[in-house]
Amino acid sequence: MDKIQQVQEEALAAIAEATDLESLNQVRIQYLGKKGSIQELMSEMKSLPKEEKPAFGSKVNVCKQEVSTALEHKQSELESQSLFANLEKEKIDITLEETKLQIGTSHPLVMIQQEIENLFVGMGYTIAEGPEVEEDYYNFELANIPKDHPARDMQDTFYIDPNTLLRTHTTAMQMRELEKAKGKAPIKLICPGKVYRRDDDDATHSHQFMQSEGLVVAENITLADLKGTLEHMANTMFGNGRTIRFRPSYFPFTEPSVEVDVSCPFCNGKGCSVCKGSGWIEILGAGMVHPHVLEMNGFDPEKYSGFAFGVGLERVAMLKYGIDDIRNFYLNDKRFLQNFNRFD
């Protein structure tokens, strides 16, 4: 009986000490296997006197039961340990350090161009586009500026050859569109784009800048239509309450010609440093399409009339955003461009 007790204690100790499934299995074989210690005890029963057999037998059974249960517990403990160890070992770090996305911004000139386009498309205008490398014919000739015309001095031109140049104004597109219409009205379009002039760059001059041309031709178009249209534009671009005024001017392709001023959006027309005390700021040139221009392009000036205007986009952007140096638009300094980030 002592031996049974001893085997049981040894077995339970060995089970407690087992550190992995393999060594636990060795313990199982050693005690519960066919040739194991507990089986050996069973076979010893044969040699016992008959009356001792039941007590001995039941003690061996209890021993076997205890050892089996301990083995089972230990087995599931070691199994879950090894499962956790494997999970730990196979763990994948799925986190990723955040990289802050740099969201680009629309260029302020693009924003102004889009604003102008939206405004005029909303009034039923179409948008025309054309070449920056232009023929002298469209840039000057059809715009009523013949070769010997003194008005050519007004614009210093980058010539590619005697008949090809970088367009000096989007008015070239006005001529292309008039010619394309073959005398058929109505025409209602704007044409935004780049233009080029030989200029020494400084805070207010750039050899390349942007304009948008506007052109309307139909029957009974008057200067009042031009004024209403530009007033609407001034209110949309510079805020409600703007008024505009016309000053007589001269352009070879319009008659009459006007310079257009907008009431100063900074002081509401009272006079400040931006408008130099006058209460007005010049924003564009405009006029009624010259009858000769209409005629050269195949329109009957007795039947049709039209207005046109040319607005400088940098000028509008500078006024609207308080930018004091035109070169900022072209330096691409991110610190400048970031000011126009609509997502910040």
Residues in touch with ligand DAH (CB under 6 A)? 169, 171, 174, 213, 251, 254, 285-287, 308-310
Q: Shortest distance, CB of residue 153 to ligand DAH, whole angstroms?
A: 13
**Whole-number minimum distance, CB 309 to ligand DAH, in Å?**
5
Residue placing its CB nearer to ligand DAH in the complex, 41 or 308: 308
The token pair that represents 3 in the structure block: 């031996």
Distance CA 31, CA 42 (A): 12
The first and second tokens of residue 97, run together, are 């350090």
Residue 108 or 287: which CB sits closer to ligand DAH?
Answer: 287
Considering the complex, state which of residue 254 and residue 328 has its C-beta at the smaller distance from ligand DAH: 254
Angle of helix 313-321 relative to helix 108-121, nearest 10 degrees?
110
As a whole number of angstroms, the distance between CA 182 and CA 14 comes to 107
Q: Which amino acid type is present at position 106?
A: S
Cβ distance to ligand DAH smaller for residue 192 or 310: 310
Backbone angles phi, psi at 14, to 5 degrees: -65, -40
Q: How far is the CB of 321 from ligand DAH (least distance, A)?
A: 22
Which residue number places its CB atom closest to ligand DAH? 310
Kindly state the smallest distance separating residue 94's Cβ from ligand DAH, in Å.
60
Take residue 299 and report the two structure tokens written for it: 């329109």
Tokens of 322: 């308080």
Distance CA 154, CA 327 (A): 22
**Which of residues 70 and 195 has its CB atom nearest to ligand DAH in the complex?**
195
Q: How far is CA 209 from the centre of its chain?
A: 24
How near is the Cβ of 263 to ligand DAH at its closest, in Å? 20
